[in-house]
Amino acid sequence: MKLLNYIFLAVLMAGLLLPSTSLLSQVDRSQAPEAGPAPLIELGESTLLSLPNGLQIIVVENHRLPKVSWTLSLEYSPIFEGNKAGMLDLFGELMRSGTENKPKPELDEEIDFLGAHISVNPKGMRGSSLTKHTNELLSLMSEVLFSPSFPEKELNRLRTQALSGLLASESSPSEISSVLTRVLKYGEAHPYGEVTTSKSLDLLTREDFVTFHKTYFKPNIAYLIVVGDIDPNTAYAKANTFFGAWKRGDIPYKRWDSPARPQTTRTCLVPLEGSVQSVIKLTHVVSMPPNSDDAIAASVMNSILGGGAFSGRLMQNLREDKAFTYGARSIFKTDPLVGSFTAYADVRNEVTDSSIVEFLYEIRRIMDEPVDSASLAVTKNYMTGSFARSLERPTTAARFALNIERYNLPKDYYSTYLEKLSAVTIEDVQRVAKNYIRPDQIFITCVGNESVIESLKKFSTHGVVELFDAYGQPLIERTAASAGVTVESVINDHYNAIGGVNTISKLKGVARTGSIEMGGGMTLNFVHTANYKKGRRGAHTSFSISGQEVVTNVVTDNGGYSVQMGPRSPTEGNELAIAQWEELDPTYLLNTSDLGLKTELLGVEQLNGKSYHVVKLHKEGVINLTCYFDKMSKMLSSTKAITESENEGTMVVTTKYNNYLDLGDGILFPMEVITTAGTQRMAIRIGSVTINPDIDLTLFNLN
């Protein structure tokens, strides 16, 4: 386990562009700028064409660069995946993983040779290349579209990758918050509210992807958006050549009922042990399609409340005035099926309830009090500038044309957008706030420390805080373990399940190699060697990037050291004691007395449909470790360590052990270990494990 804590690389970068103070001094900020007339704008021209098979083509000419992009967009009703939730998340990458005639490496090579790009998603695909390679690009795109192979091997790889991500998300406050609010707002029986689980991923088969492709990839529900160095006639001819044989078909359609707001205010918490922050959201559904007459006014209202960079009232209140958070914002989302309103922030534990008070204050203020003319003018100017800047991108005209078709917008919606924006009044802002936001029928969600429960009760209509797990399921309280179950029996069962206490305790040593996937695409390789023989116990771990050793750690009974791209530094105190305990004894969990740890069987906990024996090992100022043992397999499934440091403060480090593999003689070893600490995540993948290897004892020299 010490191996998991050796490397966490974090790079924090900040950039500030400050306006000249000499320019600022020329502006009288006591007076709101007068709103001028809506500026005249010129939208890029788009041409709408149609193939006989129903494929709609939108063409936007732009000859500044010799490039053309082709985007296929499918318009089908939201799909409920049910017990196969997660299929759509994997679909695009799997469809892009080869065709009936070209395996993935060959397909990738041909795309790279052209300097082109092709990506796929469950709602279509996109390709781009230099104009001179258009025929070759469209040939490859049509091959991927018409004859994807959906290789089983690639499905298994993507499934494993998704399972790893799922495990990491169980300890990510932001991911947990996203899941919880989806489930609460929409319900699990709605396409927007269902949650991917390990069980649903395990149920996926290749046939599920083949069936989805055959069912929904039809030209009569598709738009082909063509942008770049091409004219409409040429675009039509090429589309007809490569997509004209695509056969239309009937598409399943389901009309979904709109979820309702809660009848009262419900306060919901996912407790995270050791968390020093609360992820807060106030949210409910909104009935507002994109073509609503109130959509622009609602956008202005939300921008005043919680939009923009730092100008929103929520940001000014919770960050600038109260210093509760780095950022507090709101989102008002329109949607053809069902939209939503959400206000959110990450705050310190001790100001969780105070932050919610301020959220509710600002929400009610924009409903009850007319906004001032200065705020309205500044907001409309900001939105005007954002709209104007978007017109610099040639893809904007295509997006506008597509939105007009898919959302049934007026043909002049975007050409008259600034006029409609300019016409929004103070009364409009207050009206849409009153009509669409319901602070008394809202979900107040919090992912954070259990200590905030009492302070949250006052926000609930019924004075109750509802508890949920990481998958949005009502939390089942921890129950007592069965009679006769003890800390010792649970840990013994674990070692017996992975090879037997006697066998494991008699191991002479182990050697492991593998890789560590860090954030930002960084990968490290490692070699770990441990000798368990009495008298010369030691562990040596080296980490390298592209063959260059960057970190070395050595631990022995007599001491330890670390080398990180420079001078050697000794490992001392509690850090050394914990490393010796974890790394020099293959059955260290049975020998807690070596560190003077207190042990406690906390009971049985339910998570994601499984039961776990929960054991706590702790010693004040040394270690605070909670272990979760699967009741069925008996094996250690995960640990949660709460660490304290001057630099990082309190941090919760969650480690999950996956894919136990039989190495021979019945000895099982986890081949994948996922560690999450705050927003940082690393995945350790074991490439090889050698039991009782010949070991070079000079690896453990401390001189």
Domain boundary among 415, 432, 467: 467
Q: Please count the other Cβ atoms lying within 10 Å of the Cβ belonging to residue 152.
A: 11
Tell me the three state secondary structure of residue 492.
Answer: helix
Structure-token pair, residue 677: 């600490």
> Do 582 and 454 share a structural domain?
no
- How far is 555 from 572, CA to CA, in rounded Å? 10
- When pLDDT is averaged across residues 79-93 and rounded to a whole number, the result is 97
- Kindly state the percentage of the chain with pLDDT values over 70: 93
Confirm whether 185 is domain-assigned: no
Single out the residue of 634, 676, 672, 679 nearest to residue 655, CA to CA: 676
Confirm whether 505 is domain-assigned: yes
Confirm whether 256 is domain-assigned: no
pLDDT reading at 13 higher than 60: no
Structure-token pair, residue 490: 């649970």
pLDDT reading at 36 higher than 80: no
Beta 443-448 vs 266-271: how paired, if at all?
A: parallel
Task: Provide the whole-model pTM.
Answer: 0.84
Residue 377's pLDDT band (cuts 50, 70, 90): very high
Query: For residue 76, what are the domain limits?
Result: 47-172+195-243
> Do 495 and 598 share a structural domain?
yes
Confirm whether 647 is domain-assigned: yes
> Do 279 and 134 share a structural domain?
no
> Do 570 and 549 share a structural domain?
yes
pLDDT reading at 38 higher than 70: no
The answer to whether residues 288 and 190 touch, using CB atoms and an 8 Å cutoff, is: no
- When pLDDT is averaged across residues 346-364 and rounded to a whole number, the result is 97
Distances (CA, A) of 451 to 108, 348, 623, 639: 52, 12, 21, 21
CA atoms within 13 A of residue 623's CA, in its CB half-sphere:
28
Domain boundary among 467, 493, 512: 467
> Do 124 and 100 share a structural domain?
yes
Distances (CA, A) of 512 to 531, 614, 636, 667: 12, 28, 19, 14
pLDDT in tens, 574-631: 999 999 999 999 999 999 988 899 999 999 998 878 899 999 999 988 899 999 999 9
CATH of the domain at 578: 2.50.20.10
Beta 559-564 vs 548-556: how paired, if at all?
A: antiparallel
pLDDT in tens, 44-59: 689 999 999 999 999 9
> Do 230 and 340 share a structural domain?
no
Query: How many domains does the chain contain in total?
Result: 3
Q: Looking at residue 646, what is its pLDDT? A: 64
Distances (CA, A) of 414 to 60, 353, 376, 377, 380: 15, 42, 21, 20, 16
Instruction: Classify residue 253 as exposed, middle or buried by CB count within 10 Å of its CB (0-12, 13-18, 19+).
Output: exposed
Structure-token pair, residue 512: 């492991």
C-alpha torsion 292→294→297→302, nearest 10: -80
Instruction: Classify residue 183 as exposed, middle or buried by CB count within 10 Å of its CB (0-12, 13-18, 19+).
Output: buried
> Do 588 and 459 share a structural domain?
no
Residue 27's pLDDT band (cuts 50, 70, 90): very low
pLDDT in tens, 288-342: 999 999 999 999 999 999 987 788 999 999 999 999 999 999 999 999 999 999 9
Instruction: Classify residue 54 as exposed, middle or buried by CB count within 10 Å of its CB (0-12, 13-18, 19+).
Output: middle
Confirm whether 206 is domain-assigned: yes
pLDDT reading at 1 higher than 50: no
> Do 532 and 419 share a structural domain?
no
Q: Looking at residue 8, what is its pLDDT? A: 40
Q: Looking at residue 650, what is its pLDDT? A: 74
Residue 267's pLDDT band (cuts 50, 70, 90): very high
The answer to whether residues 43 and 218 touch, using CB atoms and an 8 Å cutoff, is: no
**Average pLDDT of the chain to the nearest whole number:** 91
Q: Looking at residue 608, what is its pLDDT? A: 77
Structure-token pair, residue 608: 């994601």
What are 516's strand-pairing partners? 524, 684
> Do 129 and 54 share a structural domain?
yes
Max avg pLDDT among 67-81, 168-182, 506-520: 67-81
Beta 266-271 vs 465-467: how paired, if at all?
A: parallel
Domain boundary among 467, 491, 510: 467
- When pLDDT is averaged across residues 680-696 and rounded to a whole number, the result is 92
Confirm whether 600 is domain-assigned: yes
Q: Looking at residue 14, what is its pLDDT? A: 24
Residue 206's pLDDT band (cuts 50, 70, 90): very high
Residue 75's pLDDT band (cuts 50, 70, 90): very high
DSSP at 544: E
> Do 515 and 482 share a structural domain?
yes
> Do 272 and 234 share a structural domain?
no
Confirm whether 19 is domain-assigned: no
pLDDT reading at 544 higher than 60: yes
> Do 517 and 413 share a structural domain?
no
pLDDT reading at 5 higher than 90: no
pLDDT reading at 354 higher than 60: yes
Which are the contacts of 386, defined by CB distance < 8 A and separation ≥ 6? Answer: none
Residue predicted with more confidence, 18 or 558: 558
Structure-token pair, residue 514: 């593998």
CATH of the domain at 291: 3.30.830.10
Confirm whether 436 is domain-assigned: yes
- How far is 119 from 502, CA to CA, in rounded Å? 53
- How far is 473 from 467, CA to CA, in rounded Å? 9
Q: Looking at residue 165, what is its pLDDT? A: 85
Residue 6's pLDDT band (cuts 50, 70, 90): very low
